[in-house]
Structure 1
Amino acid sequence: MPPLLPLARALDRLASGAGRLLSWFTLAMVLLQSAVVLLRYGFDGGSVALQDSVIYLHGAAFMLGLAYALYTDSHVRVDVFYRRMSERGRAWVNAVGTLVFLLPMCAFILIGSWQFAASSWAVLESSSSAGGLPGVFLLKSLIPLAAVTLALAGVAQFGRALARLMEVTPPGAPAGRPVTTPQPQAEEASV
């Protein structure tokens, strides 16, 4: 089991980096949408390419942000019972939920969207609007890519949950306080 936690940490770094990149996409989306509104109401003009850019950025932020939401535990969860569970109970829910629900759903989305994206790539689909952006095939490719990145984040979550479940509690120690090896402290950034 030793490679499980390093793999989970590597996948977490990937999700974290993607989240930071997507935050810039969101800023760009806000700025572009502001430009569209300014052009329309301030100058009585517009740009279909700018509107398409907002749609592309929104699609990227949403589809690729799924893995980041899982990594940061920001996803929607019905936690009537979850929030009251012990850390070990939460680890069980995360492990079983990942194996039974998350990974099969990712496989279903990947299989279901593969042909959709491949058909778009086959014709190098572009915007149907005059003056729109080319590259609709790239936008459609985000669906299977989102399934892959979400599955990788799920594997990391499963690895963390499994590591939590495999921690050993010594006899006589209070429950919920397993013996762990000290983790290296993160270096603080110097100003």
Structure 2
Amino acid sequence: MKALLKLSLGIDWINERIGWLASVAVLLTALISAGNAFVRYIFDISSNGWLEIQWYLFAGIVMLGASVVLKLNEHVRVDLIYGKLKGNAPVYVDLFGLIFFLLPVMLLMVYLSWPLLVKMYVMNEMSNNAGGLVRWPAMLMLPLGFGLMCLQGFSEIVKRICYLMGIHQMDTHYEKPVQ
């Protein structure tokens, strides 16, 4: 189990680095948006390519940042019942959700999005907009992001099992004392 925990912490490290790229994409999106607005209103020059790169970066922000959100346990959940659970009950609820909902759905999304990416790449599909960009880099974010979520989901499962076994202390609100 300790080897799996080491793998899990390696997955965490990778997703943190990729999450950093997502945060850089936020800055780039803001700069491109401001620059595009400035050029459009001051010089009356515009390009659909600049608008599309913002959309592509937004896809990167969402898809590459989602696994970090899961790692930080900041994802959306209904706390109506979960927040009232005591002891190890929240860990078991998390395990159930990760195993029976997150992983199957993310694996299905990787399976469904991969052929679309391959098709766009092979055909070198371009945007229909004048001055638009090639589409496959934006589509790449789907299988990549869902794949990263699968890896992070696996990491979270391993950490929770280790937590229940007393091997690992979680960085969340769980109340189990450090051993």
TM-score norm. by structure 2 comes to 0.89
Alignment of 1:82 with 2:82, yes or no, is yes
Larger Cα Rg: Structure 1 or Structure 2? 1
Q: Answer yes or no: is the 8 Å Cα contact 2:87–2:176 preserved in 1.
A: no
Give 3-state SS (helix, strand or coil) of 1:32's partner: helix
Q: Which residue of 1 aligns with 2:20?
A: 20
Superposed CA RMSD in Å reads 1.7
Structure 2 distance, partners of 1:178, 1:63, is: 34
Counterpart code for 2:147: V
Counterpart code for 1:165: L
Larger helix proportion, structure 1 or 2?
2
Counterpart code for 2:141: L
Q: Note the residue ranges of structure 2 that are not aligned, 5 or more in a row.
A: 168-174
Deviation for aligned residue 1:11 = 0.9
Structure 1 distance, partners of 2:148, 2:86, is: 28
Structure 2 distance, partners of 1:25, 1:45, is: 24
Q: For 1:3-18, what aligned pairs fall within 5 Å after superposition?
A: 3-18=3-18
Cα deviation code 1:123-162 (max 9, x no counterpart): 011222222223x112112111111100001011101111
Structure 2 distance, partners of 1:71, 1:115, is: 28
Structure 2 distance, partners of 1:177, 1:111, is: 37
Counterpart code for 1:143: L
Cα deviation code 1:59-117 (max 9, x no counterpart): 11111111111111221111112223235222111111111000000111111112211
Structure 1 distance, partners of 2:17, 2:49, is: 28
Question: Paired residues, what number?
Answer: 172
Q: Answer yes or no: is the 8 Å Cα contact 1:26–1:58 preserved in 2.
A: yes
Q: Note the residue ranges of structure 1 that are not aligned, 5 or more in a row.
A: 169-175, 181-191
C-alpha distance 119-177 of structure 1, shift in aligned 2 (>3 A): closer
Give 3-state SS (helix, strand or coil) of 1:90's partner: helix
Give 3-state SS (helix, strand or coil) of 2:148's partner: helix
Structure 2 distance, partners of 1:18, 1:61, is: 10
Q: Which residue of 1 aligns with 2:162?
A: 163
Percent of paired sites with the same residue: 28
Structure 1 distance, partners of 2:18, 2:149, is: 12
Counterpart code for 1:76: V
Q: Which structure carries more relative contact order (alpha carbon 8 Å, separation 6+)?
A: 2
Q: Which residue of 1 aligns with 2:170?
A: none
